[in-house]
Amino acid sequence: MKLQFYETMYDKSKEYLSYLIEQILPKFTSGELSIYLEEIDTKPSKGKKESQSWEFEKIGGDSGKIADLSKLKIEQLKHLYQTFISKELNDRNALRWRFYQYIKYISELNIKSIKINRDLNPDRLIDFIIETEDKNLMFILCYDILELKDYDRSLKEINDYAKNQNSIPEKIIFAVNKTFRNIQIDKPVKIVNNEIIPELWIEWVEENCPFNKEDLLIVNDSELKLAGFNFTSVDDLLKFVFKYSNGGQISIYKQLDFFTEVSEEEPEVELIWKGLMLK
């Protein structure tokens, strides 16, 4: 279910926004809200020099102190609404705060403490370090869209941190809004001397995915030929075609079972979209 985006809301009053924000669960503690508000008001440092220190801060230890939302400014209420209710914000910061709220619900994580990345250097990629009651560590990295270069860079930082801090994780989780499928997430990676298979937690999964892993997508007979497994929705496909095609009259066809087709019969091709794209 998609909820109404902020810009199309009829009532944007502070009173109504405050009412909606009060529905966010689990409720923010005073400490959590303080960190959240600092982060949305602080811009990352662009010119910060590389350092061997990582700035993490414990979060969530004041579970009995529910935050007072009544004194928030309208812009702060708007940001909370767009992050947690309409979920129209999908940048890294929005992803990591939604993930943080989510992990409070997870029964299988016997959490002892959570540390959040508070480093102003945008190159610090580990967003959370979770310690469980049995003293295992989990590293969480959040992305709006996870690309292969981000994945490789993240593994390097995890290795650097593990060596420098003598803290080797038992689990690595990539929490993302979307991802490309060229990342071998099921392949073990070596962190110091431990082999770990990272986990990928995808926030948005289309339940009725229009393509399977064997489909070939053909634009205008031969202008573009695309592997269906790279797209999880028609919307993603159309954005890609708009960017990389010549525009104009566009017809997109789906050829079923292209990547496993062994039959010599004429392949089955289906028109799935037709329209005009104006550049």
- CATH number of the domain that 182 lies in? 3.40.1350
Claim to verify: residue 188 and residue 231 sit in the same structural domain = no
Q: What is the pLDDT of residue 42?
A: 76
Check whether residue 166 and residue 220 sit in a common domain.
no
Phi, psi (degrees; rounded to nearest 5) at 117: -65, 120
* Spatial separation of the C-alpha atoms in residues 62 and 41, rounded to whole Å: 22
Least confident of 26-40, 70-84, 151-165, 258-272: 258-272
- The verdict on 112 and 180 lying in the same domain is yes
Q: Any residues with CB less than 8 A from the CB of 11 and at least 6 apart, and which?
A: none
127/51: higher pLDDT: 127
Give every CB contact of residue 203 below 8 A, 6+ residues apart in sequence. Answer: 95, 98, 99, 175, 176, 177
Domain edge (last residue) among 202, 236, 269: 202
Q: Is the pLDDT of residue 181 over 80?
A: no
Domain boundary among 140, 172, 202: 202
Residues 119 and 164 in one domain: yes
- Which residues constitute the domain of residue 227? 216-277
268 plus 221 within the same structural domain: yes
The amino acid at residue 105 is: Y
More confident call, 113 vs 108? 113
Q: Is residue 169 part of a domain?
A: yes
Task: Look at residue 268 and tell me if it is in a domain.
Answer: yes
Query: Of 158, 177, 202, which one is at a domain's C-terminal end?
Result: 202
Range in 43-52, 236-245, 248-257 the model is least confident about: 43-52
pLDDT of amino acid 109: 78
In a domain, 27, yes or no: no
Please check whether residues 126 and 163 belong to one and the same domain: yes
- Residue 242 CB partners (closer than 8 Å, separation 6+): 277
| 205 confidence band (pLDDT: 50, 70, 90) | low
Whether residue 134 lies inside any domain: the answer is: yes
Asked whether residue 137 falls in the same domain as residue 196, the answer is yes
Q: Which residue has better confidence, 135 or 43?
A: 135
Which one-letter amino acid corresponds to residue 196?
A: I
Which distant-in-sequence residues (6+ apart) come within 8 Å of 201 by Cβ?
99, 173, 174, 175, 176
**Is residue 190 in some structural domain?**
yes
Contact assessment for residue 263 and residue 274, using Cβ atoms and an 8 Å cutoff = no
Does residue 95 sit in the same domain as residue 117? yes
| Residue 151 pLDDT greater than 70, yes or no | yes
Tokens of 198: 């990272």
Q: Of residues 242 and 63, which shows the higher confidence score?
A: 242
Residues 58 and 185 in one domain: yes
Tell me how many domains the chain contains.
2
Both tokens of 261, joined, read 């087709």
The mean pLDDT value for 92-103 works out to 93
Q: Using the 8-state DSSP alphabet, how is residue 234 labeled?
A: H
Residue 135 pLDDT: 92
- Which residue from 65, 62, 63, 67 is spatially nearest to 80, judged by alpha carbons? 67
Same domain, 179 and 57: yes
Give the β-pairing of 56-59 and 111-117: antiparallel
Location of structure tokens 């502070």: 14
Are the beta carbons of 84 and 77 closer than 8 angstroms? Answer: no
Whether 224 maps to a domain, the answer reads yes
Query: Does 58 map to a domain?
Result: yes
In a domain, 28, yes or no: no
| Model pTM score | 0.72
- Residues 96 and 195 placed together within one structural domain of the fold: yes
Q: What is the mean pLDDT of the chain?
A: 86
Clarify whether residues 179 and 58 are in a common domain. Answer: yes
